[in-house]
Amino acid sequence: MLHDVIPQEAAAPDAPAKPRGRAIVVTSGKGGVGKTTTTANVGAALAAAGASVVLVDADVGLRNLDIVMGLEARVRHHVLDVLENKATLDEALVTDKRVPQLKLLAAAQTREKDDVDTAAFRALIDSLRSRFDYVLIDCPAGIEMGFANAIVGADEAIVVCTPEVSAVRDADRVVGLLGDTRKVHLIVNRLRPELVRKGKMLSVEDVNAILRLPLLGIIADAPDVIVSTNKGEPVALDAASPVGSAYRAIAERISGARTDAPAIPRERSFFDKLFGSR
């Protein structure tokens, strides 16, 4: 049934002479595993490295990406305004405070996911690809209409998964729904190395023994992430943060600037804990 709703084909083949940007959907199936945080930080890291990036919040009805980016006060129009011709794309794009080549297209907060026209959303992603190097789409949780819309224009996907049974199960389902035509990568989020060592948490190997995806990176469950979300400043832009550098490494693996295997995050030492959260 669901397979009927979700198009299995990727976006239209690259034809124009001008190099088209890459459309990457950040998805997970399960909610609360860090899709939005991942979208914000990977986008910020890509933009900080010089690429032009637009973040599209596809979580219509539950707009969050603007908060995580600290741009909520600047949002005037949203995706549906653009799709329904109530605003132009340029009016709706919000420029980041810190990195000017990073833009945000916010979701509508007072609308529903079913209000999004799939074909129109795909056309929007397509037009964004002609203007930006990267189009990062923050997918809503679940595998219903919102998911179908979020993935329709993307020919690549990042699956975010935490080391939990439920998250891996949902990620496994989502990988199946993404189909064979998309390049799919994995980010393992919220890993706690000390718990893995003690046998109290699934390891990255455990997770990827199931999902079998190329690994983009491993993000530790660190206070930095919470602190940066509190402030609305992507941790990826914090040069001193180990998690920030893990996000920057992910961006480099996406752009191809880096090909090494992701490192397991270091355990937090006594001193880290003592002087840790800022």
Residue ranges binding another protein (CB under 8 A): 164-165, 168-169, 172-173, 196, 198-203, 206, 210
Distance, C-alpha 26 to centroid of its chain: 4
Q: How near is the Cβ of 109 to another protein at its closest, in Å?
A: 34
Widest distance between CA atoms in the chain: 55
28/241 with CB nearer another protein? 28
Q: How near is the Cβ of 168 to another protein at its closest, in Å?
A: 6
Q: Count the Cβ atoms, other than its own, within 10 Å of residue 85.
A: 8
Distance, C-alpha 131 to centroid of its chain: 19
108/204 with CB nearer another protein? 204
Dihedral (CA of 167, 172, 174, 180) sign: positive
Q: Which residue from 186, 246, 253, 237 is spatially nearest to 219, judged by alpha carbons?
A: 246
30/103 with CB nearer another protein? 30
CA-CA distance, 181 to 201, in Å (whole number)?
A: 32
115/206 with CB nearer another protein? 206
Q: How near is the Cβ of 210 to another protein at its closest, in Å?
A: 6
57/170 with CB nearer another protein? 170
Q: How near is the Cβ of 176 to another protein at its closest, in Å?
A: 9
CA-CA distance, 153 to 121, in Å (whole number)?
A: 7
Look-up of token digits 């003690």: 198
How long a stretch of residues is the chain?
278
Q: How near is the Cβ of 211 to another protein at its closest, in Å?
A: 10
